[in-house]
Structure 1
Amino acid sequence: MIEAYNIKEKGYHPFIVKEGWQLARLNFTEAQHINQIIRLDVHLKTDEIFIPITGKSVLIAASMVNNEPQFETELMKINHIYNIPKGVWHNIAMEEGSEVFIAEKSNTHVSDFEYFPLSNAKKEELGILVKAQLESQNG
């Protein structure tokens, strides 16, 4: 009757997919490294809930102005709940060892996403913002 899950593999893993909702775990992977964010993604049919459970992660949101992302970043606190509303471009920058739970509509990872590639200038800008968030905790 009781189901238990412990996902340790790197990357994104939807592990409970039910009618209308799903829970996933995002474990650090090189693509999420603070220096490796190369794109943003958006969901048009669902909000996305993030709950960091260990490590250091920075939530990235962006609005588009003249087809250029204007970033907002926040260092996520462990066990706090963060929501990215549907239609908001976003990503997560993570340090090695970081883990985040994600709740969203079911099968979002299959069909409800678009990507926006970042220019080199925007990657550099984002890297500076993410590092500033991480340093604010250390300083």
Structure 2
Amino acid sequence: MKATNHLLEVSEYNEAGYSPVIDFQSWRVAILNYIDELETDKIDNFQCHNETDEVFVLLSGKCILFCAEVDKENNIADIACWNMEPNRAYNIKRGVFHTHTLSADGKVLIIENSDTSDFNSPKIMIDNTVRNKLGQLASSLWG
């Protein structure tokens, strides 16, 4: 939903998944809501942004950010994770491979460059071994 007049633009997004809600010049604000493809047993890749940092702010529910160390062959060598706390800004630095999982009531605000896309955001596809590791990490944080 978007409401606009000459003084103010108000946007929201309440469907499953990701959607930009405001773009202005070089920046974008988006909302990420729970979507089942981000369950740890369904995540199929880690992505990085070659040209920009990306900021995440937890608005409601729960979200875990996963960041991967990548070896010379572009394989995931190690994974760090953070259980996001509401109202804190988490800045994923440019070039860091990352993914996330959300609780069913999870909602995350994302701030990124407006030209962030698959063109400048390579992915590393993951296998069941890495997916299992994500599940173990999530279980250790959420029980």
TM-score normalised by L of structure 2: 0.89
SS where residue 86 of structure 2 aligns?
coil
CA distance in 1, matches of 2:116, 2:92: 14
Q: Pick the structure with greater CA Rg.
A: 2
Superposition RMSD on alpha carbons, in Å? 1.3
1:6 Cα deviation from its structure 2 partner = 1.8
Report 1:27-38 matches (<5 A).
Answer: 27-38=33-44
CA distance in 2, matches of 1:17, 1:88: 23
1:3 equivalenced with 2:9 (yes/no): yes
Q: Percent identity?
A: 28
Structure 1 contact 51–81 (Cα < 8 Å) conserved: yes
User: For residue 116 of structure 1, what is the aligned residue in structure 2?
Assistant: 124
Structure 1 contact 28–99 (Cα < 8 Å) conserved: yes
Unaligned runs of 5+ in 1: none
* Larger helix share, 1 or 2: 1
CA distance in 2, matches of 1:130, 1:20: 34
Unaligned runs of 5+ in 2: 1-6
Q: How many residues align?
A: 135
User: For residue 21 of structure 1, what is the aligned residue in structure 2?
Assistant: 27
CA distance in 2, matches of 1:11, 1:23: 14
TM-score normalised by L of structure 1: 0.91
